Amino acid sequence: MVEQAEIRVVHQGGSNITFREPAISSDSRFLLCASGHNVKVFSTVTEECVQELRGHADLVTGVLLRPSNHLQAYSCSADGTVRLWDFTDGILIKTYVIGYPICSIYASASHDGVIFIATPTKGYKTLDSLQLLAVHLPQTAGQLVETSDLSAVLSDVSANPATVAFGRAGEYVASTNGVQLQIFFFKKQKSFRFSLKENSCSGRSNTFTCVACHPTDDCIATGHEDGKIRLWRNFDQKREYTYRTLHWHHSTVRALCFTPEGSNLLSGGVESVLVQWRYQQESQQDFLPRLGAAITHIAVSPDGALFCTSHSDNKIVLIQSCVKVSSIIQGLVKGEAVQTDLMVDPRSKALVLNGKPGHLQFYSLQRDRLLFNLDVVQQEFIHQEGLDQFQVVMATLDGAGAWLATVEERKQETAEAELNLKLWAFDEPSQSFVLNTTVSTPHEVRITAVTFDPAARGQTSLLVSCGRDGLFKAWRLAVPAHPDDGGPSWTCDFVSAYHGLTPQRCCFSADGSLLAVGFQEVVTVWSPASWELLLTLSQPPGIIRDLCFGRLSCSKFLLGTTSSNQLCCWNLLTCSLEWSTSMEVSLLLADPLSDNMAAFCHQDGNTDLFVFKPSEPRPLFSQKAVCSGRVSRAVFAPREVALESCEESSQWLNRSQLYFLTPLMDLLTFSTRAEEERLMTASKQLVVDDSVAMTPFQLLLGKRRPHHQAAVEDPAVRPPADRPVPPGGSAAVRELLQSPAHVLPAAAALCSVFMEALLGVATETRENETSAGETPSDPEEEEEEEDSDQEMETRATRPERGLLETDSADPVLSRAQVRELRRVRKLDHSWFSSLLDS
Amino acid sequence: MASFKPTKIPVYPKLGEKVTQDTLYWKNYKAPVQIKEYGAVSNIDFSPVAPHNFAVTAFSRIHVYGPFSQEPVKTFTRFKDTAYCGRFRSDGQLLVAGCEDSVVRLFDVSGRVALRMFKGHTKAVHVTDFTSDRYQILTGSDDYTCRLWDIPNAAELSTYREHTDYIRCGVTSKLNRDLFITGSYDHTLKVFDARAEKSVMTMDHGQPVESLLLYPSEGLLVSAGGRYVKVWDLLKGGQPLVLLKNHHKTITCLALGSNGERLLSASLDRHVKVYNTTTYKVVHNFDYAAAILSLALAPDDESIVVGMTNSILSIKHRKHTEESKEMMSQQRRRPSYRVFVKGKNFVPKPDDYLVSKPVKEHLAKYDRELKKFNVSKALDASLEIWLRKKKPEITVGVIKELDRRGTLKNALAGRDEEQLSQLLHFVIGNIVDTRFAPIILTAAEMILDIYKSVIGQSALIDQQLLRLQNILESEINLEQELLEVLGMLDTMFATSVTRKEVPYSDVGRSNGLAQGEASSSRPELFRPPEIK
């Protein structure tokens, strides 16, 4: 279908950054982490994402610094490739094709040219049984390298990447699976296996969860599900091995890591406390408590000064020497389930949804950054599994973003459920929401829906809440009777029920003049001004699941979905059913800026999307199988700049963008082809236009680029990665000028190369031109041959001079001149470097 | 690293009276001085001139008290029978009083013997007053007449026989010497002009009128009779403005306070109520020991004097700020305060380099223990005696927090007799409080679970458990009774309310599609069925 090519479902922002252990660069300035299909490079100081390494076609499953070159990093992916990157500049250096999906990657400094990967054992499709392979990376030139030299090291490896570790100087590798510890010595080619009992005496599981090896000592630390840490020694003997048990964690140890000198062992788990154990004096511990969420990975910078912990709430915390949190890199927080609806904050245009437990997060989709977390519950969160704590189950914003209503619940199942309705006012000076009113137990039983009147402003704001107790209540902002009682607060204005039925849904019309409340099978329409019941509509059988008023030109329609898979549209003017159709709609949504409606339909395990106007019989757009599973959260986010797409099928995306959450908590959106093209051109421009200041060097070399780009694109002429001699002269110069200074060798070493490169460019191009014959040369090219004093001249005069010279200058060099140039090239420039040295 | 969030202590709405400016003002009186009189105190009148002595009419005597004296400075005893309505003239020199023997006596405040005796009434005279020109006296009597007398020659000037019942209250205008108003048990108020033969205005109060009051501007008249206070607009020809129904027994006396901004009414129901004269809402309430017959306020509300049927005169003097300040200074000032604020108000110079120090967060003791996961200690800290007595919501908040953390059982367990009895004491004291009941019930259940094996080992604990049982039983009985009352009320309401026409959804018949119908068919407009 044409439409499907026109509009695509894409990931947009909010990808997981804590899927795998991050890597810290050797100078502690950058942090690399796998994020969806890309690798992100963050600055550890500013918390900004400085590079995004794109190239993998599937989930990136591991990031690793190259042990032999601290400026390069490996990444592996489920697409079966390992890629080598220069992460400071974001350049893909090499792609090694393995051919099997890779689950994790390891390397050891003493195994040069070898990386270790975990891949599924042949014959097994699933990730249950993995094997550890050693891959000898071939030293061939060229970007795409097929690797065939694979050798199995260990079989029966766990899918958890934390269960494999390389020991002192890479002499052995330790791996755990279940209750078994396996150690393989490379020199002796011998492996040892140690087993623990399934359960300890206290009845808790002994299963290994992670392993770490001491960098200088023969000691392996293992973490267990019951919170114990075991330090294994003498494991090169079958019988005389010993272990020591450390127990502080009360639940599973998720991550273990030794500091580079081996003086400390770091551990973390569900408690969200980073524990630092002194090696050899394990009774002494240091703690860093309240890190916010369960620790999943711990990494230490090579100099040991910077620790970084990944947390289950998609956050990376950087810690300076175990005492101070220096920065926090926070992605879109994904809990186990998003219970609130997706909303868009009208002020910041941020997506609002459940964040950390007890918080609401405001996530900017434009900048792909978490703006802030609003602490709704305002209680200390106890990091303990199986504890029933307050959860934010509902949130709604009013039309202007001035009020936020949240509902929090605890003990949802039992009779004594604790319920709080909180109303937050937007505070201009602090630019955040401030608690205004707390209503404890607003309804006897659970609240099923809360909604604000979208049209009301300021003092007339109106909130409606429906509860399982069969009541719906209207709340209004009331000014207190006594002026010294404080500011205005919310009070219950109206309570009503309808024949003892449970209200499930409520919805305001766009102008706030009508309120529709769905009482099981009956839709009641009320006038909020007088609280009169205006009419009732019903469409049996089936309980009303969703209600939505039409917008703009379709505001006379009320749409509802029922549990018997009917989508009904009532005309409110005639009070009759306009049309109905049978489809299992899991979510019905109205675009606030147009009269379009979106319906997500669940069919055969997949979700289909239909976009339609209530007044028109044919859908504007439909797409089958948007994602698998049932979509229950989606939102129309208004665009900052409206698109001007003329394609009929994509016009509905002009004013606002549709975001939805899949059952796996991925945030997806729809993007049109026009939009993508615009993005692509923008990124291309970014590459071409590296707007360097207009320096003499820029003038000297700027217009050369077309030539050397052609050279680079030709794979035959492409320089090898280690770059010993620059063959394409100006390319080398460009490298030299553009690569950051800290990456380059000493200026003395570069000097001669640079000089030669300059000369080489001139001659080469000149020769090219002479062979081509008629190419009119650029004025700048002429200038390169001029003396250096001319290059020192100001920029303003240069172009005019160039213009003048276009006519007068001789486009073709004489033979004598060429010879002269060659002679200059052969000259020894080492005197210049010695000059620099002195 | 996030900081520790302290335990959330829920704020409960304050029960009872709200503290307002008025309650603070009217509470700012010293403990009352009580003086025993010879009989029921029927009238109290303050002298208009400083030092504002007041005359108290009780039985056959009139005592004049100084502002701070507890003994009368002057006594008038020359009455043959019960005296009524001793009132000062506007210069404070003369005092007039009626008597049961129908003679009206005029006294010099410094003298003893009556200067003049006005004879003419045939029955007891309950109302006496001076007119604003100071030369005439108004009297009202049980012989249904009111008369004007000339003071210099003790002659009767005029008689008005318009009332048809006892005249029990009257007031003269302070601005016009000819105007006066009387109230009678025939339920009427009459405005008289001495220049006219008849009354110029009559208003019907509805009950026997007991007291009258004119506002200083004399545009509004307040009358009290029966259980009601009424305010009349004289300038609009006696139009009733406000009806106040705040007493449940006959109102006997009215007074104005705070320069006419507050109205006070005293009643036989032993209450004095203070109204705001702009909104006519009750802003304060005083309770007294017996039915109140008379009430007067000193200028600037310096004292409130109340006379009761049990012949007790109660005088409340206002507390003064200097005195309260003295009280404050008597409190020991803690030296540590100065230590804490030392250097706090230091303003750094512009070129100073500031080294910021992290502000240390202050945590309550129970929070410090909670932060360290010492649950038993946290509970102990919250059960400290003053905390559980003064602020039970904090103790309950901590118990709730422990319950949320799933460690309440651990915190409750392992207590010795003394600690357990403390805990039970708190539970017994607060288990019937509706604000705390849900969480304390959970805790009480846990306590019983934990300690049921040791019941019978300590007499103290057993006694407390029995008390707890009694309290719970009586509470259950009470709830049951309340539910019964609620049921009765419901039936009464149900029968009293006329049946309203309610739109009733007759599901499946009138609206929507029956299954299998084509989706294009238009269902009928929904109409509510008729109520038979």
pLDDT in tens, A578-632: 888 888 888 888 888 888 889 988 888 888 888 888 888 788 888 888 888 888 8
By three-state DSSP, how is residue B230 classified? strand
- Choice between A107 and A778, residue whose per-residue pLDDT is larger: A107
Interface residue B529 vs chain A (CB under 8 A)? no
**Domain range spanning residue A649?**
539-682
Query: Given pLDDT bands bounded at 50, 70 and 90, which one contains residue A544?
Result: confident
**How close, in Å, is residue A291 to chain B by CA atoms?**
5
Burial class of residue A453 (count of CB atoms within 10 Å of its CB; 0-12, 13-18, 19+): buried
Q: Which residues of A touch B511 (CB under 8 A)?
A: 536-539
- My answer on whether A98 and A171 are in the same domain is no
- My answer on whether A122 and A112 are in the same domain is yes
Percent of chain A past pLDDT 90, that is, above it, reads 10
Residue window 251-280, chain B: list those with CB within 8 Å of chain A: none
pLDDT of residue A669 exceeding 70: yes
How far is the C-alpha of A517 from the C-alpha of A515, rounded, in Å? 6
Interface residue B373 vs chain A (CB under 8 A)? no
pLDDT of residue A51 exceeding 90: no
The answer to whether position A132 is within a domain reads: yes
* Token pair belonging to A172: 């052995």
- Phi (first) and psi of residue A186, to 5 degrees: -70, -40
Range A801-804, long-range pairs (CB < 8 A, 24+ positions): A803/A779
Q: Which residues of B touch A389 (CB under 8 A)?
A: 404
The answer to whether position A98 is within a domain reads: yes
- Choice between B321 and A125, residue whose per-residue pLDDT is larger: B321
Q: Which residues of B touch A580 (CB under 8 A)?
A: 513, 519
pLDDT of residue A781 exceeding 50: no
Q: Of A303, A330, A357, which one is at a domain's C-terminal end?
A: A330
How far is the C-alpha of A371 from the C-alpha of A641, rounded, in Å? 21
Asked if A579 and B519 come within 8 Å (Cβ–Cβ), the reply is yes
Amino acid, single-letter form, for residue A540: P
Positions of chain B with pLDDT lower than 50, given as ranges: 504-532
Interface residue A497 vs chain B (CB under 8 A)? no
Interface residue B2 vs chain A (CB under 8 A)? yes
Q: Which residues of A touch B513 (CB under 8 A)?
A: 539, 577, 580
Of the candidates A482, A521, A575, the beta carbon closest to that of B507 is on: A521
- My answer on whether A185 and A291 are in the same domain is yes
Q: Which residues of B touch A291 (CB under 8 A)?
A: 1
Range B92-95, long-range pairs (CB < 8 A, 24+ positions): B92/B47, B92/B48, B92/B49, B92/B53, B94/B130, B94/B151, B95/B55, B95/B62, B95/B64
The pLDDT of residue A313: 83
Asked if B8 and A576 come within 8 Å (Cβ–Cβ), the reply is no
Asked if B519 and A580 come within 8 Å (Cβ–Cβ), the reply is yes
Interface residue B518 vs chain A (CB under 8 A)? no
Interface residue A387 vs chain B (CB under 8 A)? yes
The answer to whether position A470 is within a domain reads: no
**How close, in Å, is residue A275 to chain B by CA atoms?**
14
Asked if B526 and A499 come within 8 Å (Cβ–Cβ), the reply is no
Asked if A290 and B404 come within 8 Å (Cβ–Cβ), the reply is no
The pLDDT of residue B88: 93
The answer to whether position A462 is within a domain reads: no
Q: Which residue of B has its CA nearest to A501?
A: B505
pLDDT tens sequence across A459-507:
678 899 999 888 999 998 887 766 666 778 888 888 988 888 899 889 9
Asked if B511 and A536 come within 8 Å (Cβ–Cβ), the reply is yes
Residue A737 near residue A730 (C-beta atoms within 8 A): no
Residue A466 near residue A517 (C-beta atoms within 8 A): yes
- Phi (first) and psi of residue B281, to 5 degrees: -105, 145
**How close, in Å, is residue A665 to chain B by CA atoms?**
26
- Phi (first) and psi of residue A354, to 5 degrees: -55, 140
pLDDT tens sequence across A65-78:
988 888 899 999 88
- My answer on whether A141 and A227 are in the same domain is no
Asked if A536 and B523 come within 8 Å (Cβ–Cβ), the reply is no
Q: Which residues of B touch A373 (CB under 8 A)?
A: none
Asked if B5 and A378 come within 8 Å (Cβ–Cβ), the reply is yes
pLDDT tens sequence across B359-389:
777 888 999 999 888 999 999 998 888 777 8
Burial class of residue B455 (count of CB atoms within 10 Å of its CB; 0-12, 13-18, 19+): exposed
Interface residue B441 vs chain A (CB under 8 A)? no
Most confident of A149-163, A642-656, A712-726, B391-405: B391-405
**Cis status of the peptide bond prior to B13, with omega within 30 of 0:** no
Q: Which residues of B touch A482 (CB under 8 A)?
A: 18, 20
pLDDT of residue A731 exceeding 90: no
The pLDDT of residue A314: 85
Of the candidates A288, A384, A538, the beta carbon closest to that of B507 is on: A538
Name every residue whose Cβ is closer than 8 Å to that of residue A723 and which is 6 or more positions away in sequence: A732, A735
Burial A271-294 (b: 16+ CB within 10 A, else e): bbbbbbbebeeeeebeebebbbbb
- My answer on whether A190 and A317 are in the same domain is yes
Specify the CATH number for the domain of residue A188.
Answer: 2.130.10.10
From A130, A238, A240, A131, select the one nearest A192 (Cα to Cα). Answer: A238
The pLDDT of residue A732: 65
Poorest-confidence range of A416-430, A725-739, A796-810? A796-810
**How close, in Å, is residue A577 to chain B by CA atoms?**
6
Residue A563 near residue A543 (C-beta atoms within 8 A): yes
The answer to whether position A748 is within a domain reads: no
* Token pair belonging to B217: 């501007």
Name every residue whose Cβ is closer than 8 Å to that of residue A691 and which is 6 or more positions away in sequence: none
- My answer on whether A168 and A285 are in the same domain is yes
Asked if B513 and A539 come within 8 Å (Cβ–Cβ), the reply is yes
* Token pair belonging to A220: 């392996």
Q: Which residues of B touch A382 (CB under 8 A)?
A: 404-406
Q: Which residue of B has its CA nearest to A483?
A: B20
Per the structure, the count of domains in chain A is 3
Please name the residue that has the structure tokens 């009427």.
Answer: B188
Of the candidates A292, A533, A540, the beta carbon closest to that of B507 is on: A540
**How close, in Å, is residue B21 to chain A by CA atoms?**
9
Q: Of A287, A314, A330, which one is at a domain's C-terminal end?
A: A330
Interface residue A389 vs chain B (CB under 8 A)? yes
Q: Of A661, A682, A703, which one is at a domain's C-terminal end?
A: A682
- My answer on whether A666 and A612 are in the same domain is yes
Beta carbon pairs, A and B, within 8 Å: 86
- My answer on whether A285 and A240 are in the same domain is yes
Query: Given pLDDT bands bounded at 50, 70 and 90, which one contains residue A27?
Result: confident
pTM over 0.80: no
Q: Which residues of A touch B504 (CB under 8 A)?
A: 499
Mean pLDDT on A531-535: 88
Of the candidates B1, B7, B512, the beta carbon closest to that of A539 is on: B512
Residue window 423-442, chain A: list those with CB within 8 Å of chain B: 440
Residue A458 near residue A399 (C-beta atoms within 8 A): no
Of the candidates A290, A382, A440, the beta carbon closest to that of B2 is on: A290
Asked if A539 and B504 come within 8 Å (Cβ–Cβ), the reply is no
Task: Supply the angle between the helices A729-738 and A705-713 in degrees, to the nearest 10.
Answer: 100
Interface residue A101 vs chain B (CB under 8 A)? no
Of the candidates B508, B520, B526, the beta carbon closest to that of A540 is on: B508
* Token pair belonging to A340: 């609130």
What residues are paired with B297 via a beta bridge? B304
- My answer on whether A48 and A164 are in the same domain is no
Interface test with B, best of A380, A389, A517, A532 (most B CBs within 10 A): A380
How far is the C-alpha of A709 from the C-alpha of A657, rounded, in Å? 38
The answer to whether position A376 is within a domain reads: no
pLDDT of residue A739 exceeding 80: no
pLDDT of residue A809 exceeding 50: no
Helix (H) or strand (E) holding A423: strand A418-427
The answer to whether position A745 is within a domain reads: no
The pLDDT of residue A157: 85
Query: Given pLDDT bands bounded at 50, 70 and 90, which one contains residue A239?
Result: confident
The answer to whether position A828 is within a domain reads: no
From B99, B111, B104, B94, select the one nearest B45 (Cα to Cα). Answer: B94
The pLDDT of residue A457: 67
What residues are paired with A466 via a beta bridge? A449, A472
- My answer on whether A299 and A223 are in the same domain is yes
**How close, in Å, is residue A625 to chain B by CA atoms?**
26
Interface test with B, best of A376, A489, A576 (most B CBs within 10 A): A576
**How close, in Å, is residue B427 to chain A by CA atoms?**
19
Query: Given pLDDT bands bounded at 50, 70 and 90, which one contains residue A125?
Result: low
pLDDT tens sequence across A348-405:
888 888 878 888 888 887 777 788 888 888 888 887 777 788 888 899 988 888 899 9
Q: Which residue of A has its CA nearest to B501?
A: A533
Interface residue A575 vs chain B (CB under 8 A)? yes
Amino acid, single-letter form, for residue A167: G
Please give the radius of gyration of chain B, using alpha carbons only, rounded to the nearest integer. Answer: 35
Of the candidates A289, A375, A382, the beta carbon closest to that of B405 is on: A382
- My answer on whether A600 and A626 are in the same domain is yes
Helix (H) or strand (E) holding A754: helix A747-772
Start-to-end C-alpha separation, chain A: 71
- My answer on whether A290 and A166 are in the same domain is yes
